[in-house]
Structures are given as structure tokens and as C-alpha cells.
Amino acid sequence: MIQGAAVQQALAEWLTQDTLILGVGSLWRGDDAAGPLVCEGVPGAVDCGDAPERFLGLAGSPQVAQVLLVDAVDLGAEPGEVVLCEREDLTERFGTTHSSGLALLARYLAETYGKEVRVLGIQPASTGVGCPVSGPVRGAVERVVAWLARAEPRAPIQDPEGSFDMAPLGCARGGQGEPSGSEG
């Protein structure tokens, strides 16, 4: 696990144009919004909401060489601390608010699709329903967005045949946004 100032350098060395960024979290649970907020600032990143398992198939694209999961992770550190974990670093001890733990998601992506997976975790202060995003986490999100923008990772999922349609998923933003269909 990489912590502190070394995270930015490690990201810059690891990220490529073929990196798929999946943000995990809920906009309604305070600092758990870290993953989706990073996605808002990084073109090509995918906001998985609080159900990342619905988006794992994106990693199967031949345009994707590796996957970066971005999530609020309880490490027992100071709020806003950012860490970069390799799949082997992940254990079930990392707290998450999602039904599928990050270790399980990373293992699935690696074993099913043969992709290298890392987790960029941001220590939350509070993930209570209806809580605002804390200042330290908002600052961490801004730093991460800037780091990712400099590294320019992009793994746009181009589907010339139109076979992947996100509309059946029910919402435009990982289960948290407006319904994707029009109501009549």
C-alpha cells in the first residue's frame, strides 16, 4: 500500500491510456461520494454508484488494460488521506459501504478479465446518510482529479455495434441520477 506524497508519483507511473477508472460510492452518504465526485472531474471515468458489480463487464473490453477503482475506504487514517493499493494489499479489513467488498471486486476483475487492478482509497470522515462531504475529503477529491488529469488515463469504452446499452440499468449515473428514459 502506498501512502502520502508517494501516491501521486505511483499513479503517474502506473496509469496508461488503457486504464478504466471506476468510481464507487453514494452521493447520498457524505464522504462515500468520493468515488463519484472523482468521476465528475475525470473525462472517461465511470460512476458506478453504490452498485459497482453492475459495471464490472466494462473491464472486459479489449480497450482496457487495467482498472483503477476509486472509493472511500476506512483505513483508520486521517480524513482525506489518499492511498493506492494493489490487489494483493486488499483485505476484507478495508471498510466499505457497498454490498461487494473491494477485495472481492478486484479479485473478480483480475481473475475474470485478466486485468491488473488497483484501488485508490480516500479515508472518509463520515458516511452517514444525508451528511455533506467533509472538507478533507473534498480536498482529497480535488487533488486526485488533478493527478488523474495530468496522467490522462482514458479507456473509453467504444462500442461500434451498440451492444452495450446502459439504459436498461435504470439510471444515467450509477443508480443515483435521473432516470435515463423519458416519462410519458
Domains of the chain with CATH codes: 2-155 (3.40.50.1450)
Q: What is the spatial distance between Cα 8 and Cα 4, in angstroms, rounded to a whole number?
A: 8
Query: How much is the pTM?
Result: 0.78
| Alpha-helical runs (H) found in the chain | 6-14, 34-41, 102-113, 135-151
What is the per-residue pLDDT for 122? 94
For residue 66, which phi and psi values (nearest 5 degrees)? -155, 165
| Phi (first) and psi of residue 16, to 5 degrees | -135, 175
**pLDDT tens figures, 125-162:** 888 788 899 999 999 999 999 998 877 655 555 443 44
> In this predicted model, which residue has the larger pLDDT, 101 or 41?
41
Residue 79 has pLDDT above 90, yes or no: yes
Mean pLDDT taken over the chain: 78
Q: What local confidence, expressed as pLDDT, does residue 127 receive?
A: 81
